[in-house]
Structure 1
Amino acid sequence: MSAAAQTVVRRFWKAMASNDFHVASLYLTEDFRLQWPQSGEIVEGRENFAALNTAYPASGPWTFDLRRIVGEGDQIVTEVAISDGDLHATAITFHTVRGELIALQREFWPDPFEAPEWRRGWVRLPSG
């Protein structure tokens, strides 16, 4: 993966952790698009991105734990654990970097689910 693309994506997630989403939006192109395929929503523009994240209801400050970053060229994929203290979620985000900014994010929010009973003979469940 391109060092420049990886750097801008890491800086983006660091800025998100500041909870100043207007600062985080500075890592996005003016014509940025965020796609949420699961709901069909598209956020267009860095201003809408900042406003949406600022208005998002939360129990406390958001935390962003970058667990994995992989990619090739200007295509970067991240796995990030996100929490506001009550909500605990994982986002899988596909970033397209243009120049030194993120032009597109395609983001998936997988829901946790109970392990099916039929698989219990072949899997180990985490303790806790």
Structure 2
Amino acid sequence: MSKRLIAGFWDAMASNDFTHASTWLHPEFEYYMPQTREYLRGRTAFAALNDAYPTEGTWVFAVRSIVADGDAVVSDVEVTDGTVEARAVTFHTVKDGLILRQKEYWPDPYPAPGWRAPWRQIVDAPPF
């Protein structure tokens, strides 16, 4: 059930109607981005933040994986507006059938170190 909730949330995010997407969030929703130490509370703040994000076009979300264990869910999602290409790894906590908390990482890609070349290949997506 938690996995379906998160899949539904990402589908709602793909509508680019972030007020609509915020209906998947618990009334006591909390959001934290550890890399920038930003914290926000509430559905309204979540929708406003996403509406205000400077963008070059419509956001497109490609869910790569969702792993759930009870009320703890992790999603790995590629995000683009046609110019920005990013990845969001989000740790969700579910309560009462809604998303209570999200802790989200937006890791930047970086070139593979040359010393690892004998053991690896560079691919756009893993074969699994």
Q: C-alpha distance in 2, partners of 1:41/1:14?
A: 24
Structure 2 equivalent of residue 63 of structure 1: 60
TM superposition shift of 1:51: 0.3
Residue 121 of structure 1 aligns to a residue whose secondary structure is: helix
Q: Identical aligned pairs, as a percentage?
A: 47
Q: Does 1:52 align with 2:53?
A: no
Structure 1 equivalent of residue 16 of structure 2: 19
Q: TM-score, normalised by structure 1?
A: 0.93
Q: Residues 78-97 of structure 1 correspond to what in structure 2 (within 5 A)? A: 78-97=75-94
RMSD: 1.1
Structure 1 equivalent of residue 31 of structure 2: 34
Q: Does 1:73 align with 2:70?
A: yes
What residue identity is the alignment partner of 1:14? D
Runs of 4+ in 1 over 2 A off after TM superposition: none
Deviations 1:39-63 (A, max 9, x none): 1001211100000000000010001
Q: C-alpha distance in 1, partners of 2:15/2:29?
A: 20
How many residues are treated as equivalent by the alignment?
Answer: 124
Q: C-alpha distance in 1, partners of 2:100/2:94?
A: 6
Segments of structure 2 that go 5 or more residues without pairing to the other structure are none
Q: Does 1:119 align with 2:113?
A: no
Q: TM-score, normalised by structure 2?
A: 0.93
Structure 2 equivalent of residue 99 of structure 1: 96
Q: C-alpha distance in 2, partners of 1:75/1:125?
A: 31
Deviations 1:11-34 (A, max 9, x none): 110000000000000110111011
TM superposition shift of 1:121: 2.0
Segments of structure 1 that go 5 or more residues without pairing to the other structure are none
Q: C-alpha distance in 2, partners of 1:100/1:80?
A: 21
